[in-house]
Amino acid sequence: MKIKNSKKRFESNNLLGQKLLFTLLIIAIYLIGRIIPVFGVDLASHASKLAGTQNLLLQSIGGDVYRTSIFALGISPYMLAGLFVMFYSVIKNMDKDNKVSPRFTSRLTVALAFVITVFQAVQRSMDFKFLDSTNDQFLLIITSIIELITGAMIILWLAERNKKYGIGGQTALIFINIVDGIVRVFMMYDISKLIIPILLSAAVVAITAYMEYTEKRIPLQRISIHNIHADKNYLAIKNNPVGVMPIMFSSALYMVPVSIIEMLSRTYRDNSDIQWLSVNLGLDKLPGIVLYLSAFMFLTILFSFIMINPKDISEQFLKSGDGIVGIRAGKETTQFLIKEVLKSSLISGLIMGMCLALSLSLQIFINIDSGLAMLPSSFMMLTGIWSNLQQEMKAVRNYDSYREFL
């Protein structure tokens, strides 16, 4: 018996080990791509433009602002495409007779990611300063656009492969970018300037960990269980139902109007309204922070209802005969779950939003550098992603332990 259990444990660890090794291979390829520069770009000139909060925000959602590499766009086009397709799917799936198939949404996401990649590649290439500023400037821009598009498509392929054969999917690549950004911040500043951001980061990590690892349990009555465990059945809703997904996706969503305004400000330099928006929508200004936090709250509520669908859960209870203790099946259960999900999403959104607001407001009230202001937010995302990676690794172990019965 001991030999059999040891063999099971070895096979489980072996499957997890294989997935982790594949993820490490994907990360290695990603890191190699990050050190391949775009042809002809003046790297020294680019290094002097990295202080903005938006650049650090892009770094945290998959873009690589610290290098003008072929992987500079990162995973952000794919994230943004996934967000837009999610909006489309939610609207279409409201009609039961006209639901969108997963295969169609996958293809639509890839196609839209390519369109967004082209747009971002053009915008990024226009910002590049090339070493040869006299000859073939247009050709250098076209070349850089092609390189950035190719790099983004390679990253998309790497993320999809890691999702299928590794651990963490696209978040593994985002995890690497966030760690890189944090390390660079620590290398850029003296310890005296890091004290307040580090203390705030520690508090944010503690709050995020509590929200990630705790849950609310709603007692259930299951008709198939009539023993001493009958009173131990429950429906669990995490205190933070959607983790750090809203933070990452709201960052991508926030960059859409900011990028559009930035392009318009270059075209319409005499338009005072556009120039005002260009200046004040940054994350170092109050209107920009309000816009970012509004996107965060909206996505927190939306993702909560996507991941915990009250109507679907209610229908499953009707089919199985199970139910929530003290709540009638059907419409009453649906309404009860809507209130619970909405309450959980609002509470978690307000708590996490206050952490984000506090860290970003450091720039306004105590005139702290943008890199230091983003440090607590980066640690928040890092904590959430690490929690998700732990849960996925645990799921792999649990699945493999039951594999011989499947």
Specify the pLDDT at position 206: 93
Average pLDDT in the chain: 81
Domain 1-188 class?
Answer: mainly alpha
Q: Which CATH superfamily is domain 190-388 in?
A: SecY subunit domain (1.10.3370.10)
Element (H or E) spanning 328, and its range? none
For the chain, count helices (H), then strands (E).
16, 3
Nearest C-alpha neighbor of 347 from the set 239, 252, 264: 239
d(CA 123, CA 170): 23
Classify burial at 381, counting beta carbons within 10 Å of its beta carbon; exposed 0-12, middle 13-18, buried 19 or more. Answer: buried
User: Could you tell me the residue ranges of all domains in the chain?
Assistant: 1-188, 190-388
> pLDDT at residue 393 above 90?
no
Q: Determine whether 150 is exposed, middle or buried from the number of CB atoms within 10 Å of its CB (0-12, 13-18, 19+).
A: middle
pLDDT given for residue 59 in this prediction: 63
Q: Does pLDDT of 230 surpass 70?
A: no
Whether 1-188 and 190-388 share one fold: the answer is yes
Q: Tell me: pLDDT of 203 over 80.
A: yes
Confidence tier at 27 by pLDDT (50, 70, 90): very high
